[in-house]
Structure 1
Amino acid sequence: MQQQIESTDRDYAGVIASHLEEAALAMIPQATIARAKERVLDSIGNILAGVDATGNAAARSVFASYGGSAESTVIGTGTALPAPHAAMLNALSMRSYDFEAVGAEAGDANMVAAHISGTTVPVALAASERADASGAQFLEALVLGDDLASRLAVASGFHTASGGDNTGTVNVMGGAAIVGKLAGFGAQQYRDALGHALNQMSGTVQNLFDKASSFKLPQAMAARNAVVSADLAAAGFSGVHDALTSSFGFFTLFSPDPHPERMLEDLGRSYFGDMIIKPWASCRAAHPALDAVIRLKHAHRLEARDIEAVEIHVTPTTKRGFTGQEFAAAPGSEVDGLFSIPYNVAVGLLEGTVRPEHLSAAYMARAEVRDLLDRVTLVDSLSPHEYQTAEAVVRTRSGETFRTRVEAVLGDLHRNPLTRDQVAEKFFLNVEFGGRISTADARRVQDAVDHLEDLDSMRALVALIA
């Protein structure tokens, strides 16, 4: 439902445009840069892991058929396409196992549901390759784009129950800011680009309820639309003057609970982005339950054959959401497992993790998986006001009962972060799973990302993953 924002005399779009024009890498804290590098490494691994996921070859064939200039690399394929198409296809690969960084960071260390890096990193890679930008220019643009998308998500009051998918809204503006920064935009060009982004926003969470491969499209189309938005502005095509707080701007059309003033909190001093690097390949809404059963598995050396029953206690909103649905009788693709709490719980108890290799149709149909799934029950007993929590109760065949409650889920930057070594391990495992580049080249990628500021041309990094 649309909510008209309160009338304001403040030119929010103008403030954002001026900030984007004036901000520079030297103004960005080193801790922010270090976090961005971790997200870049994680993102490249996720793209390489997802190249062959369901539907991606079909999408590549469609966009390759359009032709056009070979501006930017479709990662892992050895081909190049126009930058908007390459950005889109790389974002599609990155989302395929729902393994990318998530969670728009707020100034109070809380988060709003978002998948920002899944658009911004593919956009930054494609646009910097096209522009032959340096690593420092890439980092500068990426941090600014991440920050804008994160601020928009937080200020919008987004929640998945609203029905929209903000991977197709805030990501477009964040991506357009990246392309604009790499192109040296002035304030008016940023205004135009944000206006063009507004006209290309879309996305529905119905994709997730339907377990359709199109769940990847809002994030991927946002990457394409971001490049197009900035390219139109660069060509002098005028756009909406105030794409944010005008009568029919972003906050009216796409914000369940708009508070635009939050967008400017500590602007130019703090830089935000995704605050969670995922330890497991599944929707973050499944991670509290998954974390809980993995803890119990390790603490009590649980084996699937020993388990009589599993109860997972969640909030009513979670149980009636897309991750609370009954698991498919005949799963056909990764999406069936990605967005199912019961499936993630079963795999977590069997494997102690959930990775892309556990999301094939063949694995999901395994007898031991289906047998354990029959013993998993979701209970909507937690307070509706809780967020990112779960309780797990496991009863064994010998009569023992084990339980735990999870509030600080693994991967959260502020509460339970992955270590640098864990992020690197995830990257190398994803490279191995994808099978597109060698381990030696993966090590070169890791070194290049660690020293992005010293990289003369991003084309050298892209060549390693082409």
Structure 2
Amino acid sequence: MTLAEFVASAIPPVEGRHAAARALLDTIGVMLAGASESAAASVQQVVAQESSGLQCSVLGTRLRTSATNAALANGTAGHAHDYDDMCFVSLAHPSAPLVAAGLAIAELSGATGRALLEAYVVGFEIEARLGRAMNPRHYQRGWHCTSTLGTIGAAAAASRLLGFDAAVSVHALSIAASEASGLKENFGTMVKPFHAGLAARNGVLAALLAQAGLTASGSAIEGPQGFLAAMDSESSALLPFIADLGGRWEILDSGITVKLYPSCAATHPALDALLDLKYRDGFDAADVDRIDIGVDAITPTVLLHEHPSTGLEGKFSMPFCAAAAVVDGHVGLATFAADRLADPIVAGMRERVAMHVDPTLDAGAPPLTQARVQVTLKDGRVLGAVANGARGYPDRPATSEQLAAKFLSCAGVALPETRAREALAALQCIDGAADVRTVIDLCGSGGAT
């Protein structure tokens, strides 16, 4: 089965739709929380100026705009806090682009909730298969998979919602392959969340262009000068990784990692271990002489900021995240506000945190998923823990209660509490929605403009 045939004819399992519904709930929550962030506000300012069509909603605001601009704005907001979910096969944040693109096309077409969830699954599967073929080489080379693989996943989801057959889907995916980009050097800046918006926007645009008759090479992904070759794929062949499309489902096998801290996923195993030690042994910042955190070889290519000067840089700083966890006992949205970044106690603790590559960690484990934490206390005690994964990972999934609490916390940034609870209830039943626009309407009328 080709990628295009899968887009057109795949029948996602019920369990896959359930996983997609959880991802949709979580992602719309972080979109609402991110709608007032600087990166999202910048995009909203541009789309407000360019809004010739008013079909689609920018969540958490009163803005209505075109499908492509809505996807751009919502995708950026969804990744603005780095609180959106992860997949350790694609090494991407899959849901911000997939949900943003899916919502735009669903609102444009009046799709059902089931159709939206099936489109999400189709996009997720294609993105994950590309990840299996291309990573870790593609990611290590400097490409941001949320944007590169996410563009093709978003195009697949949009194509599915628009009802394309395999012939038209080929063109949409191939157009998306020429649009895809995103550089890891921009991690810790507003451009990183913008990457998710670009992936969503470009995926929607690719599908709409294919619908309008724009054609592209059928070998744009696997050809000798195609996506895999140009973007330094680990494998030059895609077929071994897609042979069982429709028979095995990545969304069920590899799963989705829900983030319970609004920081880079590479910080999460260490944060889990450090917080567990803190609660078990009862130490605080004044008791700590130093903290040493061992990580895999890829983590330092992501956590670039030893001395962060902004909240966005703080999300990509192991010393800052670890220091905040020790000082505050938690890591949340408020952790990355300017006052916490400048707090002298947090700053002092940060200088006592060191990150290094630990060669004894399991080389066969997925990147960014392990940490060895050692806390040396001033009284001479040495506390240690090894983390393999973190809470929220597929083998330790977030509970329904945790997802609901996270959604309400995030949605409360943009919506009144009553409206946030109405949106939560509607999203929990999204599979049965006759028209997704009734759910989107609950999320699109916040206080921002």
Give the Cα separation in 1 of the matches to 2:193 and 2:441.
Answer: 25
Shift of 1:265: 4.3
TM-score normalised per structure 1: 0.89
Shift of 1:113: 1.2
**Equivalent of residue 426 in structure 2, options 426, 448, 460:** 448
The residue that corresponds to 1:428 in the other structure is 408
How do 1:49-64 residues align onto structure 2 when only pairs under 5 Å count?
49-64=33-48
**Equivalent of residue 258 in structure 2, options 271, 277, 280:** 277
* SS of aligned partner of 2:87: strand
- Residue type of the alignment partner of 2:77: S
* SS of aligned partner of 1:275: coil
**Structure 1 consecutive aligned stretches of length 4 or more whose deviation exceeds 6 Å:** none
Give the Cα separation in 1 of the matches to 2:356 and 2:136.
Answer: 25
The residue that corresponds to 1:116 in the other structure is 94
Distance 1:380-1:169 versus aligned 2 partners, 3 A rule? closer
* SS of aligned partner of 2:256: strand
Distance 1:226-1:455 versus aligned 2 partners, 3 A rule? same
Say whether 1:90 aligns with 2:88: no
Contact 1:292–1:406, Cα closer than 8 Å, also in 2: yes
Give the Cα separation in 1 of the matches to 2:148 and 2:182.
Answer: 7
- Residue type of the alignment partner of 2:320: Y
**Equivalent of residue 373 in structure 2, options 367, 372, 392:** 392
Say whether 1:180 aligns with 2:164: no
- Residue type of the alignment partner of 2:9: E
Shift of 1:238: 1.0
Shift of 1:261: 2.8
The residue that corresponds to 2:141 in the other structure is 162
Contact 1:191–1:242, Cα closer than 8 Å, also in 2: no
Give the Cα separation in 1 of the matches to 2:280 and 2:130.
Answer: 40
The residue that corresponds to 1:107 in the other structure is none
* SS of aligned partner of 1:393: strand
Distance 1:84-1:98 versus aligned 2 partners, 3 A rule? same
Say whether 1:300 aligns with 2:281: yes
- Residue type of the alignment partner of 2:165: G
The residue that corresponds to 1:22 in the other structure is 9
- Residue type of the alignment partner of 1:303: D
How do 1:215-364 residues align onto structure 2 when only pairs under 5 Å count?
215-258=192-235, 259-273=237-251, 275-319=256-300, 321-323=301-303, 325-328=305-308, 331-332=309-310, 334-364=311-341
Give the Cα separation in 1 of the matches to 2:325 and 2:342.
Answer: 16
Question: Alignment RMSD, CA only?
Answer: 1.7
CA deviation digits over 1:292-322, x for unaligned, max 9? 1011011112222222221112234434x23
- Residue type of the alignment partner of 1:85: N
* SS of aligned partner of 1:103: coil
Shift of 1:59: 1.9
Give the Cα separation in 2 of the matches to 1:133 and 1:190.
Answer: 18
CA deviation digits over 1:390-421, x for unaligned, max 9? 111112222222111111322210x2222221
Give the Cα separation in 2 of the matches to 1:86 and 1:360.
Answer: 27
- Residue type of the alignment partner of 2:25: L
Give the Cα separation in 2 of the matches to 1:246 and 1:379.
Answer: 39
Contact 1:158–1:255, Cα closer than 8 Å, also in 2: no
Distance 1:61-1:21 versus aligned 2 partners, 3 A rule? same
Give the Cα separation in 2 of the matches to 1:453 and 1:112.
Answer: 25
Give the Cα separation in 1 of the matches to 2:4 and 2:22.
Answer: 27
The residue that corresponds to 1:6 in the other structure is none
CA deviation digits over 1:241-276, x for unaligned, max 9? 222212222221224302513431431123334621
Give the Cα separation in 2 of the matches to 1:99 and 1:78.
Answer: 23
The residue that corresponds to 1:3 in the other structure is none
Give the Cα separation in 2 of the matches to 1:262 and 1:286.
Answer: 32
* SS of aligned partner of 1:362: helix
Contact 1:412–1:418, Cα closer than 8 Å, also in 2: yes
Give the Cα separation in 2 of the matches to 1:315 and 1:18.
Answer: 38
Structure 2 runs not aligned, ≥5 long? 445-449
Shift of 1:122: 0.7
Contact 2:90–2:127, Cα closer than 8 Å, also in 1: no
Distance 1:380-1:149 versus aligned 2 partners, 3 A rule? closer
Question: Matched residue pairs, number?
Answer: 435
